[in-house]
Amino acid sequence: MTDKKQSLLRRCTDKLFGGIDMKWWKVIVLAVASAVITFIFLVIPIFENTSFYRMGVTFEAWILLAVFIMANCKKPLESALKTFVFFLISQPLIYLFQVPFSDMGWGLFMYYRYWFYWTLLTFPMAFVGWYIRKKNWLSLLILSPALIFLTFTYVNSFMFTFKHFPYQLVTGLFCLGQVLLYLYVFTPKLWMRLTGFLVPLAAVLIIALVTPEVETNVTTFLPDDQVLTEAAVVTNEDADIAKVSVNSTGENSTILIQAHKYGTTDFTVKDGAKEYKYTLEVYEDNEGHTQTKITRNN
C-alpha cells in the first residue's frame, strides 16, 4: 500500500472513529434508522435465511454501531449515556415496527427481554469501552471480548459457507472486516495487531478441534407413531453419530436422540416380539441449525 493510499485510509478511519461530533440528535437518528433497517431485514421475505436477517438476531452489526458511538464521544460518561440511549431506542422500535406484521402481535415483545438485559449492560460496557480511544495496549484489552466473538463468528461462518455456499459468506466477511478495522484504528503497533488477530483465531480453532461437531438432545415421536411398552429397547448401529433411547412409553411414546456428529445411522426398536427398523439422519440446515430426520425401513 502506498503512503498516499495509507494516508487516505487513515484519514477516513480517523474521521469515522473519532472525528464526528456525536450530538444527541445524531444518536437518536442513528437509533431510529438502525431500527428501520433491521425491521426491513426481518419482515421482507427476500432477506430470510440471509446474513442481513442476522442483524435482528445476533450482535455483530450492533457491535459496529456501539464502537462507532463510543469512539466519537468525548468523555466516558457521555459514551455510556449515548450508547445506552441508542439501544434503549433502537431495540424496542424493532419489535414495535414488527407488531402489525407478526402473528404474535404485541406478544412479540416477550423476546425483547433478552435485548433489554443487554441494553442495561451497555452503560458500564460503553463507559469502559470509551478508553479504546487511547489507542494503546489498553485498547486491545478492552476490545478483546469483541474480537473473540467476531473471530468465533467469522470462522464458523466461513466453515458454514464452505459446506453451504454462499450462505453466511457476507456474515463471515463482515465480521472479519470488523476485526481488521478495529485493530487498524485502535492499535498503533504491529505486535498489538498480530496479537489481536492471531490469539483469538488460535483460541477459536483449538476450541473447534476439541469440541464435538454436534452436541444436541432431541425428544421426538417416531415417524409412524408407534405405541411402545415398558419392554421397548433401542439398539444403535453407530452411537458415534447419535445414540437413540426410549424416552416415554404408552400412547404418547417418544424417543430421545443424543446427536454427536452429522451423518446417517440406523437404529432398531425391539418391543417384545415386535421389531421396528429406522434410519436417522443428523444434518445442518441452511440457517446453521442441527436437524434430525427419521424414516421407517420396514
The rounded distance, in Å, linking the Cα atoms of 220 and 260 is 17
The rounded distance, in Å, linking the Cα atoms of 86 and 27 is 6
Contact in structure between 72 and 26 (CB atoms under 8 Å): no
- Per-domain residue ranges of the chain: 3-210, 216-296
Helix extents (H) in the chain: 3-16, 24-43, 60-71, 76-98, 112-129, 137-163, 169-186, 190-210
Distance of CA 270 to CAs 235, 243, 259, Å? 8, 15, 21
pLDDT tens track for 19-68:
999 999 999 999 999 999 999 999 999 998 889 998 888 999 999 999 99
pLDDT tens track for 177-235:
999 999 999 999 999 999 999 999 999 988 888 777 777 888 998 888 888 998 899 99
Q: What cell does 244 get?
A: 437413540
DSSP states of 179-234 as a string?
Answer: HHHHHHHH--SHHHHHHHHHHHHHHHHHHHHHS-S--EEEEE--TT---B-TT-EE
The predicted pLDDT at position 4 comes to: 63
The rounded distance, in Å, linking the Cα atoms of 288 and 164 is 9
Contact in structure between 75 and 22 (CB atoms under 8 Å): no
Percent of the chain past pLDDT 90, that is, above it, reads 63
The predicted pLDDT at position 38 comes to: 96
Q: Which among 63, 108, 106 has a CA at the least distance from the CA of 86?
A: 63
Of 167 and 119, the one with more pLDDT: 119
| β-pair partners for 275 | 270
Average pLDDT of span 154-182? 92
**Per-residue pLDDT band at 5 (split at 50, 70, 90):** low
The predicted pLDDT at position 2 comes to: 58
Average pLDDT of span 86-111? 92
Q: Is the pTM of this model over 0.85?
A: no
Q: Is 43 left (phi over 0), alpha (psi -120 to 50) or beta?
A: alpha
Of 252 and 4, the one with more pLDDT: 252
Domain 216-296 carries which CATH code? 2.60.40
The predicted pLDDT at position 298 comes to: 67
**Per-residue pLDDT band at 285 (split at 50, 70, 90):** confident
Distance of CA 135 to CAs 5, 84, 129, 192, 213, Å? 21, 23, 12, 10, 38
pLDDT above 60: residue 118: yes
Mean pLDDT (the chain, rounded) = 91
Average pLDDT of span 114-133? 96
Angle at 154 between CA 191 and CA 7, to 5 degrees: 45
Q: Cα(first)–Cα(last) distance of the chain, in Å?
A: 66
**What is the number of other CB atoms lying within 10 angstroms of the CB of residue 198?**
11
The predicted pLDDT at position 56 comes to: 87
Q: Which among 127, 136, 135 has a CA at the least distance from the CA of 76?
A: 127
pLDDT above 70: residue 3: no
